[in-house]
Structure 1
Amino acid sequence: MRKSLIVLLSLLLIVILGFGTYRTIASKDEKHYSQHDVKGLITEKYRGKIQSVEHIGESYVAQFQNESGIYKAIINSEDGEVTDLVQIKSSGKTSLTETEIKDIALKQATGDISDIKLHEDKKNPYYDIEVTGKEKKVQMKIAKMDGELLSKEEYKLETNEIEQEGKDSEKSSIINKKKAEEIALIKFKGKVKETDLGEEDGLLQYEIEIEDSSGQEAEVYINAYTGTIIRFELDKDD
């Protein structure tokens, strides 16, 4: 009886230890990034074309190329974190200019850029941008390297903020036709066909008609005082 009990306990202990070892191995396998995962991460995060991926110790060393040049990235094989990023060769254009970043921001939100700050993060430098429109503010993070939109949050303006913006607009002189057309062309690339200055609902505004290379037409309505895009309309084919 005693021998049977000892044998039973021994078998139970072996089962418990074996199950624990299996769980540990399974847990590690679940967390471990494969070469396929690393390639997907690089392609999504940096829009790069993979040249090589090598597994060394606890990390992957990946070399890739994008519009800015050739890079080497060190990626933690456990959690996929990029621990280091080094540019090996430049393509001649290491990053986007502030003007290009502003253009990207104004395609994402209607209004004026009220604040812009550069954060020189070693792994992925980015701009913090705030665009203030007629009734809301939009805060964005845009990657300096390739212009990727990293985040975007919208906030509705309080009544007093809207009123203040209106008062400021009334005190300002109107922007000229050329400036209004430049703003409109940032929103919709093409050729300006017609620009009219008139008043609608008590507000002086530019109505600018644009046609792109494919024949698609659009109208951009711009506050003549602030340069804020009030409305954007794409013409639909009949």
Structure 2
Amino acid sequence: MSRKMKMLLTLAGCLFILVAFAMLMIQTIDKKILSEADIKKIIAKDYNGNITNIDLINHKQDYTLTLENSNGIYQIIASSSSGQMKEMKQLKSYQKPNEKNAELQAEEVAVKKVKGTVIQKKEKSDRFIFTIQSKKELYQVDVEKDTFKVIEAEKKKPTSKEKKLTKITVEEAIQIAVKEVGGTVDDADLETFSGMLVFEVELDLPDGREAEVLVNAYTGDIEGITYEN
């Protein structure tokens, strides 16, 4: 192929590219761009809130809008010709943690303050109240709702209602006591020992002695054993 022919082919290729580019530009220019008012109406049909900002981007192919409502602030990208949404992402959230999550956070704080088992939960306007059975004592821990700070943590005597909130049954307490010292059961009652709720299990041993076993009503731990001849 002659040099002249190569040059002609190259020029023809360049001309074709220029024509195609020109046609594309004409199509882009001729494409109808929705007004800001129109695009706002389209977005408002599907999303509640106030549009606080709107701009054309991507060589006027898209609109970017900032939408604000009770849930937060969002950025929306929509086609400038059709109004179809292409992308939406949340920039800021106004939603508060739900009550369950708030209660769980408060419970974590309470148990960190007093290690033990939460046996009862209450809620007031400004705080969560947890009753916690520790290894040796019963505590009430109050945690502030807004800050999740411990307002107070103090020992308390178990109420009649709390005495019913045992984690183990009397039958389970008897099994624990018999496994520990043996013998046969004479009696088993729910009692308070050093501020702690326990099952007091009395056993008759094979050697003629009697044993009194204190079983923690929440954890099942043995808190004490007394032998009598």
Fold-level similarity (TM above 0.5): no
Which of the pair has more CA radius of gyration?
2
Q: Please, what TM-score do these two structures have when normalized by structure 2? A: 0.29
